């Protein structure tokens, strides 16, 4: 026997079935629009890029040597920062200081003797003019004066040379930098030309790369190129092209300036340098923040006239600094989402962040 559902209960169930989808649609319409930031696509002159390896190098890197002989009494620790002219090592100068005192005393003695001899010359001249002393005695007195004057000059030169040797016992930094290594330790014996420490100007660095000779005609000094330094992409500028190729590798050296104001660059860091390998062409480029990289490809979101997001699949090409060439349904002037694209859905309504302008 079939049981009948009361009419009131059946009516309530029927209303509930129809109410469920309506309730969901209302909730979806009430969801707030996604807040995003946008950047316009633009036409830019860009060229195909060939990646070549490079390294961050210091413009000044020197093994500083001692200029005098002696026992080393102090060497700056590795990592010490020094200014130009600041001491990085010292050599024992005690014997030189004793020698300096000896020459200083000799100079004073000769100055006193010479002063006396000058007065004697004046006295002998007066006597010779009056005829009370032979002229030869006057000439002999002048000769002794001249000899003393030459001895004084030699003593002064010896004194000054010893003072210079004492000054050279302090090994000074030829430029501002950081001590990279100690090559002599305290107690070891130094001699002229012996390397004491390695000094590197860590605040004056550049990138040096070996470029194929085949792309030389596409390079020029002052050109900006992308650099990948330890995963960080920055824009460098070609400062010098060393137009001397190596016969075996068919490469030549290119030096590039790193951007100022960035974090300190570690000397010896590996760099990937993007150098143009062909003539530049005008192409559509987007800000790299607009690209969304996923396992199924690369895409971006365009904001249409109705402020709704449109998902576009693209392929990337050349990149220069923050701008990347894209191949796909993108044209100059398109508004592309650069912030907030990670959670966007195709067709979702968006609200532009007023901070972007």
CATH of the domain at 291: 2.40.420.20
Cα separation, 141 vs 144, whole angstroms: 5
Least confident of 72-76, 97-101, 277-281, 335-339: 277-281
Phi, psi for 151 (deg, rounded to 5): -65, -35
Q: Are residues 77 and 186 in the same domain?
A: yes
Longest Cα–Cα distance of the chain, Å, equals 174
Q: Are residues 129 and 163 in the same domain?
A: yes
Question: What average pLDDT does the chain have?
Answer: 86
Neighbours of 39 (CB within 10 A): 19
Q: Pairing between strand 61-65 and 42-46?
A: unpaired
Domain that holds residue 125: 93-168
Q: Are residues 224 and 322 in the same domain?
A: no
Tell me the whole-structure pTM to 2 decimals: 0.64
Q: What is the mean pLDDT of residues 112-138?
A: 86
Q: Residue 27 falls within a domain, yes or no?
A: no
Q: Residue 10 falls within a domain, yes or no?
A: no
Q: Are residues 222 and 261 in the same domain?
A: yes
Q: Are residues 346 and 284 in the same domain?
A: yes
Q: What is the pLDDT of residues 305-331, one digit of tens each?
A: 888 989 999 988 877 768 888 888 999
Q: What is the pLDDT of residue 235?
A: 86
**Tokens (6 digits) for 1:** 């026997």
Where residue 52 falls among pLDDT bands split at 50, 70, 90? Answer: very high
Neighbours of 175 (CB within 10 A): 18
Q: What is the mean pLDDT of residues 61-82?
A: 95
Q: Residue 12 falls within a domain, yes or no?
A: no
Neighbours of 9 (CB within 10 A): 9
Q: What percent of the chain has pLDDT over 70?
A: 89
Q: Residue 4 falls within a domain, yes or no?
A: no
Find out whether 186 and 72 touch, Cβ atoms under 8 Å. Answer: yes
What number of residues does the chain have? Answer: 357
Distance from chain centroid for Cα 294:
34
Helices (H) and strands (E) in the chain, counts: 3, 23
Q: What is the pLDDT of residue 30?
A: 43
Check which CATH number belongs to the domain holding 250 and give it: 2.40.30.170
Instruction: Give the residue from 202, 111, 96, 90 showing the smallest Cα distance to 154.
Output: 111
Q: Residue 299 falls within a domain, yes or no?
A: yes
| Domain end residue (candidates: 236, 256, 277) | 277
Q: Are residues 284 and 261 in the same domain?
A: no
Query: What is the number of structural domains in the chain?
Result: 4
**Tokens (6 digits) for 338:** 């650069």
Q: Residue 124 falls within a domain, yes or no?
A: yes
Q: Are residues 73 and 38 in the same domain?
A: no
Sheet arrangement for strand 70-75: 170-172, 87-91, 70-75, 189-190
Query: Which residue is listed with tokens 């059946």?
Result: 10
Find out whether 227 and 256 touch, Cβ atoms under 8 Å. Answer: yes
Residues in CB range of 9: below 8 A, 6 or more apart: none
Q: Are residues 100 and 214 in the same domain?
A: no
**Tokens (6 digits) for 310:** 């449109």
Q: Residue 143 falls within a domain, yes or no?
A: yes
**Tokens (6 digits) for 5:** 């559902």
Cα separation, 210 vs 272, whole angstroms: 11
Helix, strand or coil for residue 164?
Answer: helix
Torsion of CA 221, 223, 224, 226, to 10 degrees: -80
205 strand-pairing partners: 58
Q: What is the pLDDT of residues 214-235, one digit of tens each?
A: 999 989 999 888 888 877 788 8
Q: Residue 1 falls within a domain, yes or no?
A: no
Helix, strand or coil for residue 181?
Answer: strand
């Amino acid at each position: 026997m079939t049981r009948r559902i009361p009419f009131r209960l059946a009516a309530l169930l029927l209303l509930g079935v129809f109410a469920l989808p309506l309730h969901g649609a209302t909730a979806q319409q009430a969801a707030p629009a996604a807040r995003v930031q946008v950047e316009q696509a633009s036409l830019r002159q860009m060229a195909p890029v060939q990646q070549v390896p490079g390294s961050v190098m210091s413009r000044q890197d020197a093994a500083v040597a001692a200029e005098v002989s002696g026992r080393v009494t102090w060497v700056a620790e590795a990592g010490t920062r020094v200014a130009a002219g600041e001491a990085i090592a010292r050599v024992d100068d005690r014997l030189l200081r004793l020698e300096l005192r000896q020459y200083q005393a000799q100079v004073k003695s000769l100055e006193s003797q010479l002063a006396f001899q000058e007065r004697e010359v004046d006295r002998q001249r007066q006597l010779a003019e009056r005829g009370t002393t032979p002229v030869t005695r006057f000439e002999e007195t002048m000769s002794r004066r001249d000899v003393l004057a030459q001895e004084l000059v030699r003593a002064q030169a010896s004194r000054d040379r010893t003072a210079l040797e004492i000054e050279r016992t302090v090994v000074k930094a030829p430029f501002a930098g950081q001590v990279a290594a100690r090559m002599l330790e305290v107690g070891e014996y130094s001699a002229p030309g012996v390397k004491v420490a390695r000094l590197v100007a860590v605040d004056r660095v550049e990138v040096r790369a070996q470029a194929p000779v085949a792309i030389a005609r596409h390079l020029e000094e002052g050109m900006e190129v992308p650099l990948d330094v330890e995963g960080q992409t920055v824009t460098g500028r070609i400062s010098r092209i060393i137009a001397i190729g190596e016969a075996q590798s068919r490469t030549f050296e290119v030096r590039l300036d790193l951007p100022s104001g960035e974090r300190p660059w570690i000397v010896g860091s590996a760099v990937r340098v993007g150098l143009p390998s062909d003539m530049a062409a005008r192409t559509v480029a987007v800000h790299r923040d607009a690209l969304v990289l996923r396992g199924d490809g690369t895409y971006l979101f365009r904001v249409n006239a109705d402020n709704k997001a449109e998902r576009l699949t693209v392929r990337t090409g050349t990149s220069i600094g923050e701008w990347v060439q894209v191949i796909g349904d993108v044209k100059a002037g398109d508004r592309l989402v650069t912030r907030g694209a990670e959670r966007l859905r195709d067709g979702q309504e968006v609200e532009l962040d007023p901070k972007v302008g």
